[in-house]
Amino acid sequence: MKHRSMKISVLTIMFSILIVSFTANEAIAESVPEWVKNNALWYGQGNISETEFLNAIKFLIDNGIIVIDSTEESISEVMEATIIIPNGNFDVSSVGFYSPLNLEINAGTTVIWANEDSVPHTIQSQDEVGKVIDMFNSASLNTGDRFEFTFEESGVYNYFCSFHPWRVGVVTVK
Ligand SMILES: [Cu+2]
């Protein structure tokens, strides 16, 4: 008798979990199969094992009927993108363009410029007519140095190198 009442309270807890999920998504609640409902009933009556009951719950999770909230995971996801300043970038006659030349990102992405050239460079943000503006402006970056900036708002952002002003690039934030 004691054993039985413990089982029923476990069942009550399971049902409250189901109710929370179903309140969040009523449309999905419609799709709980009859056999799962029967399993819950039989489990409460002591007719099936706990393993069988848990397998029924697992079925609901595997088939997306119970949706496990994964908010925490997506918050900790870091959005980063890298622009390479390639070897030969300093040379006006070379093809050493920034890679990529026009980087497309989502708002909130941190862009990292990595100097892989043999000489120092800078990254200076420009307005639409090429004037330097105080937005993202690096110090002199030696070979192997990195500079980063996080773009919070959508728009088209131009930049260039103050040592090699023919080197221009674009960051497009969607
Ligand atoms: Cu440069």
0.85 surpassed by pTM: no
How many angstroms does the Cα of residue 160 sit away from the middle of ligand 1?
8
User: From the CB of residue 50, how many other CB atoms can be counted at a distance below 10 Å?
Assistant: 10
Q: Cα–Cα distance between 83 and 132 in angstroms, integer? A: 20
Q: What is the mean pLDDT of residues 79-86?
A: 97
The residue ranking higher by pLDDT, 15 or 77, is 77
Q: Cα–Cα distance between 146 and 75 in angstroms, integer? A: 25
Q: Does position 165 have pLDDT exceeding 60, yes or no?
A: yes
Q: Does position 156 have pLDDT exceeding 70, yes or no?
A: yes
How many angstroms does the Cα of residue 112 sit away from the middle of ligand 1?
16
How many angstroms does the Cα of residue 120 sit away from the middle of ligand 1?
6
User: From the CB of residue 37, how many other CB atoms can be counted at a distance below 10 Å?
Assistant: 11
Q: What is the mean pLDDT of residues 85-102?
A: 94
Which of 13-17, 66-70, 101-105 holds the top average pLDDT? 101-105
Name the pLDDT band for 64 (thresholds 50, 70, 90).
confident
Q: Which range is least confidently modeled, 11-15, 108-112, 119-123?
A: 11-15
Q: What domains can be seen in the chain, in order of their start residue?
A: 2-70 (no CATH), 78-173 (2.60.40.420)
Name the pLDDT band for 2 (thresholds 50, 70, 90).
very low
The residue ranking higher by pLDDT, 120 or 10, is 120
Q: Cα–Cα distance between 125 and 102 in angstroms, integer? A: 14
How many angstroms does the Cα of residue 163 sit away from the middle of ligand 1?
5
